[in-house]
Structures are given as structure tokens and as C-alpha cells.
Copies of this chain bind each other. A is one copy, B any other.
Amino acid sequence: MHILITGAAGMIGSKLTQALVARGTLRGAPITGLTLVDVNPPALPVGVPGAALSADLSDPAAAPALIEHRPDVIFHLAAIVSGEAEADTAKGYDVNLKGTMALCHAIAAERDYAPRLVFASSIAVFGVPLPDVIPDDQPPRPLTSYGTQKRMGELMIDDLSRKGLLDGVSLRLPTICVRPGKPNAAASGFYSSILREPLSGQTATLPVPDSTRHWFASPRSAVGFLLHAAAMDTGPLGQDRAINLPGVDATVGDAIAALGRIAGEAAVARIERRDDPAVAAIVAGWPRAFDPQRARSLGFRAEADMDEIIRVHVEDELGGKLPD
């Protein structure tokens, strides 16, 4: 079992790598090779046969070199984030679309080879107007460059899977929360900050009203989605390989209440409310909740509520310790 991960140095890529090394197997077979790729070379865990490579998939020579060794399973996570794709149109299409195209077409060019390709798509393929709860048959209508690029990738993967040139699964990941690490400039960053910072004894700023509703899963669930997509039977997907995933439908108020239950009112008091209408306007265009019946019937699982999402963060990032 040879596995290729693009975007392997990112937060999800690193956690996926750790999980694969810890398991040692995928689809019931021992992992005999792990190729990690990113624009900056990721660290290769000790004791794992494989390679850590620096490559830019928008370079036409990069993808064929990665594919010539015919990995059995490919996790395609490489992307620039929503805010950067919106601000730098050319870079967004180069990385998020041309990179995906180059990878898919390098696969399609190989004879008698149709590996499992797990593509990290996003709920950003959906844009307003949206129902309060998005059903599985909601038509994607992206209203950002990032969502457009992800939807274009999904369509191509559907087509190449239909032709038997690869065996794709596109995962429309929820907003990942709680993201570990430092605050970032993404419009969605506050969703993690208002939990992560107080749980570490720091203050955080909340730019939107408590009533703002959104759709979340933990980094641990994201890794679980990827592993499940790598191993699942794709027959039941038919010609639509893009999947709305399970998650937690929660308001900011729900998240803060869960924080209070787990870490106490002292933690809640570290959240400073400072309305930012620009952030509120961006967030207003995002999906609020899904009814992901198809994914649940296919065996995808996420947390039950914000309490569980916070407990996963405390376990996985804080060694189980809460602030004093």
C-alpha cells in the first residue's frame, strides 16, 4: 500500500500522516510507502518508508513525477485558503485548479491505473441563497473563487471517475474547529480562536453576534473522513462523487455555552465581543447547517455537539489539561 499526500505539511496533512503512521495499514494492507509533498518539504516521520518532497503542483513537471510510482491511494489536500484565493485570483487558479487538473491528468495518462483519489473539497461550493438546512441534493453555486475552484475540481473528478480513469471521492469538509496553532487572518479564524485562546488562558475577540450559526467538525473528524473515504466502497456513489459531510450545527452562543460547561466562566470571560460588520457580512453568506443523510449512510461520522468538539481539542492538543 503506497500512499501519496499532497499538502502534507498543512495542519490536516500532518495529522493525517501521524494517523497513517500510527495505524500502519490502510484498506487492510500494510503501508509500504508514504510520499509526502508540499511546497515546503514536510517532515517524514521516523521509521516510515517513503519520501518527503518539495513540489509545486502548478509546475507541469511535478504531477507526472509523483504519479509515475503509481500510489494506490492519493490524498489531494494541497490548496491555498479561501481568503488568499479571493485576493490573488491568478495564484488561486494556479494552485487550486491547475494543480488539481495536473494531478488528475497525470493519473488519467497512466494505463491500467485508477487509484483512489480523495480530494479535500469544501462547503464553500455552496453560496447564497441557501436553506437553513442544506439537503444532499442542494445544487452547488459557489460565490467565491475558492468555492469555484473546488467545484471545478469536483466536476472533473466526477467525469474522470465515470470514465474509470481514477476512483475519486470529493469531501466537502465542514469548517474545521478547533484549529490548533496561532490565530490566522481567515474570516473564519475567530470560530477556533474563541475556543482555543480561552482554553489556553489567553483572550480572544469575537467579531459576530452570538446568533451566528455554522457547520463544524474537529481536526480528528477531518482525518477520520479522509481515512474513511480512502477505504470505502465507491460503488454506491454512482456518478456523483462529492459528499456533504456530517458535522455539528452550532451558533456562536452554543460554542460559548459549551466552553463554559467544560472550562468554566473564567474561560468564557476571556472572550471579548467587538462587532466587525465586514466579518459578519462574509459569514452571512456561509452555510449554516446540513442534513448529510448520504454521508451518514456511507459511514462518515463527526462529533455530536460543540462539547465533544472542545473535548477533542483538549485531548489532542492540550494533553487533556484545562487552564487553571
Chain A residues close to B by CB (< 8 Å): 89-90, 93, 97-98, 101, 105, 108-109, 139-145, 148, 151-152, 155-156, 158-160, 162-163, 165, 239-240
CB-nearest residue of chain B to A151: B155
C-alpha gap A308/B70 in the complex (Å): 56
A165 touching B89 by the CB < 8 A rule? yes
- A90-B105, A108-B89 known; A148+B142 contact, CB < 8 A: no
- A143-B162, A145-B163, A152-B156 known; A93+B101 contact, CB < 8 A: yes
Task: Give which listed residue, B93, B139, B160, B162, contacts A139 with CB less than 8 A.
Answer: B139
Closest chain-B Cβ to A102's Cβ sits at a distance in Å of 10
Closest chain-B Cβ to A154's Cβ sits at a distance in Å of 10
CB-nearest residue of chain B to A108: B89
Closest chain-B Cβ to A163's Cβ sits at a distance in Å of 6
Contacts of A139 in B (CB 8 A): 139-140
- A90-B105, A101-B97, A108-B90 known; A239+B143 contact, CB < 8 A: yes
CB-nearest residue of chain B to A239: B143
CB-nearest residue of chain B to A127: B239
14 contacts between A and B (CB under 8 A): A89-B165, A90-B105, A90-B109, A93-B105, A93-B156, A97-B156, A142-B155, A142-B159, A144-B159, A145-B163, A148-B156, A148-B159, A152-B152, A152-B156
Interface centre among A159, A160, A162 (most CB of B within 10 A): A159
CB-nearest residue of chain B to A153: B152
Contacts of A151 in B (CB 8 A): 155
C-alpha gap A291/B143 in the complex (Å): 25
Interface centre among A109, A155, A160 (most CB of B within 10 A): A155
CB-nearest residue of chain B to A85: B159
C-alpha gap A239/B129 in the complex (Å): 12
Contacts of A109 in B (CB 8 A): 90
Task: Give which listed residue, B97, B141, B148, B155, contacts A148 with CB less than 8 A.
Answer: B155
C-alpha gap A141/B140 in the complex (Å): 10
